[in-house]
Amino acid sequence: MKFRNNSGYFVALFSIILFTFSITGIIQASIVDEESVEALYLFDEGEGDVATDSSQNGRDGTIMGAQYAEGVFGTALMYDGVDDNLLISGYMGVGGKEPRTTVFWFKASSTRDHSWVKWGPNTGGAKYYIRGHVSGQQCFLRIEVNGGQNYGQADVCDGDWHHCAVVFPDGADSVQDHDLYVDGVLQENTGGDREMDTGVNVEVNAGARLTGHSFLHGLLDELAIFSAALDAEQINAIMDTGLYGTVSVDPQDKLTTSWGKIKRY
Ligand SMILES: [Ca+2]
């Protein structure tokens, strides 16, 4: 009888421990609201020309020329800087003055004004163009909207991997309202202001240049666009643990298929 009681006690204790671990896991996995994920690319396919969108929206991208190479987590896309691109057909990005966050890892193969991510028409305030801002042998993270811009001061063209995040906060209305993070560090804003009204009639792409600028030359990993303004804690969590562990809450979702391949270099 006494043995049974002890056994029951240990079963109960074990259940509590399991439950605690489960709750902890849910809290950690829910640090970013999955409903705010517009599109998410891990680039871990390793072959083919389809970049699977791991969000709930099915916005698979078409890889145009870029090759797979070793990434920060699993594999990444390597761009030749001549004509490589990733096109998200049918997805026009986040428009108007709606809050948004774009994150990605980047490793430069040269110093230039790399075209990282963009959407919107090339007209005043309507363009949404995340690219490099060249300063001597360095380049900085920059968002421009045609008529206004905002850039930081950390060099991301030095050939090392850098995590970039471009955040347009709730209630913001101009390009200087953005918060730019490089390697999780908030940048000081530089540039000229311009009211924003992002257009939604040009598809999102990552790599192709606009006239007068340059194709992305280097490696791109862990690209995601959110319809929410992420804070410093969330951005650092994405940088440290990857998009999979930060965003995914459903073990049955498509992200699971990539989990086994992910490792941090
Ligand atoms: Ca990857």
CA of 85 to the centre of ligand 1 (A): 16
Residue 153: how many other CB atoms lie within 10 Å = 15
H-state helical runs in 51-144: none
Query: How far, in Å, CA of 151 to CA of 154, rounded?
Result: 9
Average of per-residue pLDDT across 85-95: 98
Whether the per-residue pLDDT at 202 is higher than 70: the answer is yes
Helix (H) or strand (E) holding 259: helix 256-259
Q: What is the structure's pLDDT at 245?
A: 81
CA of 242 to the centre of ligand 1 (A): 9
Which region among 163-177, 180-194, 246-260 has the lowest average model confidence (pLDDT)?
246-260
CA of 73 to the centre of ligand 1 (A): 4
Residue with tokens 């009204």: 197
Task: Please tell me whether residue 131 adopts helix, strand or coil conformation.
Answer: strand
DSSP E strands, 35-177: 37-41, 50-51, 61-64, 67-70, 75-80, 85-88, 100-108, 115-119, 128-135, 138-144, 149-151, 161-168
Whether the per-residue pLDDT at 66 is higher than 60: the answer is yes
CA of 161 to the centre of ligand 1 (A): 13
Q: Where do the structural domains in the chain lie, given as residue ranges?
A: 1-30, 35-259
Q: CB–CB of 216/207 below 8 Å?
A: yes
CA of 145 to the centre of ligand 1 (A): 29
* Domain formed by 35-259, architecture: Sandwich (2.60)
Kindly report, residue by residue over 4-61, the tens digit of the pLDDT.
Answer: 555 566 656 666 655 555 544 444 445 888 899 999 999 999 999 999 999 999 999 9
Average of per-residue pLDDT across 192-220: 97
Q: What is the structure's pLDDT at 13?
A: 63
Cβ neighbours of residue 96 closer than 8 Å, sequence gap 6 or more: 196, 197, 198, 200
Quote the pTM value: 0.85
Helix (H) or strand (E) holding 10: helix 2-29
Classify burial at 184, counting beta carbons within 10 Å of its beta carbon; exposed 0-12, middle 13-18, buried 19 or more: middle
CA of 44 to the centre of ligand 1 (A): 5
Best CA proximity match to 140, nearest among 174, 83, 188, 100: 188
Whether the per-residue pLDDT at 254 is higher than 80: the answer is no
Q: CB–CB of 109/161 below 8 Å?
A: no
CA of 117 to the centre of ligand 1 (A): 17
CA of 169 to the centre of ligand 1 (A): 27
CA of 220 to the centre of ligand 1 (A): 8
Backbone phi, psi, residue 195, to 5°: -65, 145
